[in-house]
Structure 1
């Protein structure tokens, strides 16, 4: 059963990617006023990073399960795991952007300047770069999966793009956890 018109996969990937990244960059750049989101108590805002690290770890698990399932030929389990991974990513991003907008910007690094320059910023930069690159790859893989029946999906770029997206996604989520540890555990 076809859910996404095949001829629209590329344009939908582009539109969804542009809109998603525009929202992220607007929030990160302080272009979305905090008055546009509901006010939450401080304890809610302070708990979001802790919730997001749990979501990140769960996403690492579901991506790994999905990867293993498809290697074993279990398409149903693969599909469920990858859709779950996408839902977890969307939840992570929703919480992250809400906190970013509600608090007026990113959390400053509280550790020493040397660690900030030579450890924190490089890890954060790679994490952010990979997250940005993943957006169109993940949309493309998901849209292909929605546009083709399983027996025809093997003739598309779904597997190739999916492998790249999953690899980068795993690295990005893992580095996100390292950023969390530096911000909330070490310092």
Structure 2
């Protein structure tokens, strides 16, 4: 992803840089959920709903950029691959800010399936399916953090020729697969929670 050779501690120690950035991300997320990191201004119900919609849009664009970037590298177009992947990564950072603000300043939502809604008679199956998709989405989001950061660190500090001597392509393929599935499930669960069924604050 880099267009010129760079030197420095990050290039020399990409695993260490990935570990540090991953830990910072985990601390920020877990601290926000635990109420320890209290840096987000309170927001009302309408803003929580707005953030939920914005997050779904951001994730949809991030998924698109990710798949487009994978398509470009398969064609050998490094420049467009780099632009698409950095766009996807930037969108995920935007998602993180919106999501943590929604959680830290607002609240989480719990799905409610009411009589008369789509396939409400099968709520006993739909709710566990929704929770399973949500769990996979969350798990992949957590596990994918270092897997996503590592190829980004490599790409920003190495030239295309240098990247051939690293694990950038191999780890990148794993990142694309896990990240894409996580984003897709995130959008699906958003649709189920906010448009097909209902919710209550949790």
Q: Do they fold alike, i.e. is TM over 0.5?
A: yes
- Structure 1 residue 139 corresponds to structure 2 residue 143: no
- Structure 1 residue 50 corresponds to structure 2 residue 53: yes
C-alpha RMSD over aligned residues: 1.7
Larger radius of gyration: 2
Distance in structure 2 (CA, Å) of the matches to 1:61 and 1:24: 25
Of 157, 160, 163, 1:153 maps to: 163
**1:109 is paired with a residue of what secondary structure?**
strand
Distance in structure 1 (CA, Å) of the matches to 2:37 and 2:15: 28
Q: Indicate if the aligned counterparts of 1:109 and 1:116 stay in contact, CA closer than 8 A.
A: no
Task: Report the Cα offset of residue 147 of structure 1.
Answer: 2.1
Q: Indicate if the aligned counterparts of 1:137 and 1:162 stay in contact, CA closer than 8 A.
A: yes
Distance in structure 1 (CA, Å) of the matches to 2:22 and 2:152: 12
**Gap regions ≥5 residues in structure 1:** none
Report the TM-score, using the length of structure 1 for normalisation.
0.91
- Structure 1 residue 71 corresponds to structure 2 residue 81: no
Task: Report the Cα offset of residue 100 of structure 1.
Answer: 0.3
- Structure 1 residue 18 corresponds to structure 2 residue 23: yes
Alignment of 1:30-179 (within 5 A): 30-33=35-38, 36-103=39-106, 105-111=107-113, 114-115=124-125, 117-179=127-189
How many residues align structurally?
Answer: 184
Task: Report the Cα offset of residue 116 of structure 1.
Answer: 6.3
Superposed CA offset, 1:131-159 (max 9, x none): 11111011100111122111110110000
Inter-CA distance 38–15: structure 2 relative to 1 (3 Å threshold): same
Q: Indicate if the aligned counterparts of 1:3 and 1:146 stay in contact, CA closer than 8 A.
A: no
